[in-house]
Chain A
Amino acid sequence: MQASPCLSRPSFRLSAIATALALAAGVSTSALAADNGKYRIGIVTFLSGAAAGPFGVPAANAAKLAVEALNAGKLPAPYGKKGINGIEIETVIIDEAGGATKQTEEFRNLVQRQKVDAVIGYISSGDCIAIAPAVEELGVPTIFFDCGTSKVFETVKNPKFLFRTGLDAVVDNVAAARYIAETRPNVKTVASIQQNYAWGQDSWNDFNLALKQIKPETKVVSEQWPKLGQGQYGAEISAISVSNPDLIHSSFWGGDMEALMLQGGARGLFDKSVAVLTAGETGIEHFKANVPNGTVLGGRGPFGVFAPKNALNDWFRPAFTAQFKEPPTYPAYKMVQAILGLKAAAEKTAKVGAMPTAENIVQGLAGLTFEAPSGTVHMSRSKGHQAVQSVSFGEYQFDAKTGKASVTKVKTYAGECLMPPDGSNPADWIKAGFPGAKCS
């Protein structure tokens, strides 16, 4: 019977084919991942999809720039030593696109097949949450450089190998609320427009709670939830316009954010309402005159245009701008920060000139204070695994004559003022009135 599924002989071959394939795969890579005496870092960021342009590729570029400069020993002090602890760095870059399940698989492949010594990566919060337990299981030092979920150290309560050198999104929104309260005391009505997924939902929740806490008289007049990547915000803009808010809060990022600003600007949405964009910094080079001056922007930390003047920033900003024809935005800063944290940790604990072990890295990085282009980073939360840094907000300023964009009226809030104590739920902490926050 021709169409019958009971073909007998080939079935025996099925196992042979599958094993042969798998073996071939195994052999071919173990040869690739031969120990070449270099320090291998796996870099995972978005190389495709909507997050590639604003986040993934700037971060990957920053990694390339930093690793090349480190290998050439061209960085200013205290990072003048070549590579990591004198050992040349090699990177393995992987695309973060494709979802959390795929990323857990690829994380294992990085560690077990490609034999990387450390991993730096992950922009998506879902990926971070999914990867976190695997990090501890496989015991490879891993630094989350960007993802903003507050649940990372809820997922892994006693981290050993897992670190985050960036801040979570709670601090962004607490800082945004404080900035608004200080600079726009007259705000009475607030509208929200968020991408309809975890980031947008959490961001609005935290901002709304914090603003209610600081300015109890504010009222929410509209909440809009367009889907991620929608691109067309006509109806949402109308709905917000009709509600006449004083303030529009949005955690939009990347192309969606820029589209919202273009469409809203062309329809006069921001003539009477000021927008606060917690992830607005990545758009600063694209906004031009389309975004009104006075729009409040955040950079998820002291990054990009908010970065302070120091020797490292004096090297990084011009070098990046020269190589990639655009100034570095916050994802680029955060990537360099993670790499420098790794280097600082290794050089603190490893024997001079020796290949740093996983133990070296985790001992060195826990509780470490190190320098980055964004200033001093303290790994002082979550048992020394979570960075504490200040967060800045400022107003967008575009000079039509020079065509240059900048931020003015910058206010910087210390980490201690924005972060809940270890182990407490951020929402409860905000509702309780920020107990223990130290604001200057």
Chain B
Amino acid sequence: MSSFFAILIDGAIYASWLFLVAAGLTIIYGVMRVLNMAHGSFYAIGAYSAASLVGWYFSGEHGNPYWSFLLLIGCALVAGAIVGIIIEQGLLRFLHGRDEILMVIVTYALLLILEDVTKLVWGVDPYFAYQPYRLLGQTAVGGSLRFANYDLVLIAVSVLVGLAAWFVLNRTNKGRLLRAVIHDREIAVAMGVNVNAMFAATFAIGSVLGALAGALTAPAISVTPGIGVEVIVLAFAVVVVGGLGSIGGAAAGAILVGLSRSFAVHVAPEFELFVIYGVMFLVLAIRPQGLFGQTLARRI
């Protein structure tokens, strides 16, 4: 029985992490049709800036430790927005409307560059920001099973991010415009939507979400080179499973992948390595456009 709860809770924690990682990717894709390989770098930059800032905060006497949570979120906002805007305005702006696959390659080149840039800025030594992770303590769930409260809070944060995204897209004017762009860019342009500004804002939001995922993960890990590359394929798998460009899809994909993986770890750990690709393969074989993706029939 405790295994069952463990699978559920672990699955939920992992899914919430996956959702945070994938949300920015799917938003950028949905609006800009750019499948952003450099998303992993945003994650890494978020993690590094959070770890170095929180590390600095705790290295001296800076008052209440709970402020470090604000630091985590704050630096993700700042770092993600700065990097995102620089990249969008400095490079991607000139490549709008280019072939989707070409954009994958462009962002792959960006990933290579940003990998070394993070190394230039932060070096290769690990960074730690463990204090916030331990600060919240743990909760026992029957017997010997205990969960870090930080991870449980992460579930709430993830749900909040999802709800916020839903609210912005469905209940605000800007969001409706954004959905118009997602739905049919040509008509949106014809209606006078400033697509360029929209793209810049979207890319910034996407990169902030990527950085936020990194920043919120930083307290639980040792921030080292290469962490960004690891999350890319995961995030890709989640958004493809869920349906590209759909926030709801990213959530569904994250839950499906998260629960599958948690199930594998508890029941058949030997197969953990295949789970994500297996799920992706199966979902696409049955539903080629992903869980929430729409097929657009071509008009002839």
Contacts and interface: CB of A to CB of B under 8 A. Distances in A.
A9 interface: no
A238 B141 CA distance: 10
Nearest to A224: B269
A236 B273 CA distance: 13
A350 B30 CA distance: 68
Interface stretch (A49-57, A65-73, A168-176, A371-379): A49-57
Nearest to B224: A255
Interface in A56-83: 56-57
B272 A254 contact: no
A10 B2 CA distance: 70
B134 interface: yes
A54 B6 CA distance: 32
A369 to B, nearest CB: 35
Given A239-B266, A262-B133, A266-B133, A50 B224 contact: yes
Nearest to B134: A266
Contacts of B125: 53, 57, 326
A234 B124 contact: no
Interface stretch (B142-150, B184-192, B241-249, B289-297): B142-150
A385 B270 CA distance: 37
Contacts of A236: 265, 269
B148 A286 contact: no
Contacts of A259: 220-222
Given A52-B124, A224-B265, A266-B150, A229 B221 contact: no
Contacts of B115: 48
B261 interface: yes
B144 A241 contact: yes
A225 B220 contact: no
Contacts of B17: 232
B209 to A, nearest CB: 18
Interface of B, helix, strand, loop or mixed by DSSP:
helix
A286 B138 contact: no
A267 interface: yes
Contact of A235 (B128, B265, B270): B265
A241 B146 CA distance: 8
Identify the interface centre among B2, B265, B270, B272: most chain A CB within 10 Å of its CB: B265
Contact of B269 (A50, A239, A241, A262): A239
A49 B225 contact: yes
B130 interface: yes
A119 to B, nearest CB: 22
B230 A242 contact: no
A263 B7 CA distance: 17
Given A196-B272, A232-B17, A242-B145, A268 B138 contact: yes
A222 B144 CA distance: 15
Contacts of B126: 53-54, 254-255, 258, 286
A242 B224 CA distance: 30
B221 A255 contact: yes
A274 to B, nearest CB: 14
Contacts of A308: none
B262 interface: yes
Interface in A13-71: 47-50, 52-54, 56-57
Interface in B1-37: 2-3, 6-7, 9-11, 13-14, 17
B226 interface: yes
Contacts of B9: 238
A404 B3 CA distance: 39
Interface in A283-320: 286, 288, 290
Nearest to B143: A242
Nearest to A226: B272
B226 to A, nearest CB: 4
B13 A234 contact: yes
Given A232-B17, A244-B144, A49 B222 contact: no
Interface string A172-198: 000000000000000000000000100
B99 to A, nearest CB: 16
Contacts of A239: 6, 265-266, 269
A227 interface: yes
B221 A223 contact: no
A230 interface: yes
A262 B221 contact: yes
Contacts of B3: 242
B124 A56 contact: yes
B124 A53 contact: yes
Interface of A: 47-50, 52-54, 56-57, 196, 222-227, 229-232, 234-236, 238-239, 241-242, 244, 254-256, 258-259, 262-263, 265-269, 272, 286, 288, 290, 326
Given A236-B265, A263-B220, A266-B220, 7 more contacts: A50-B224, A232-B217, A262-B128, A262-B222, A266-B148, A267-B148, A290-B130
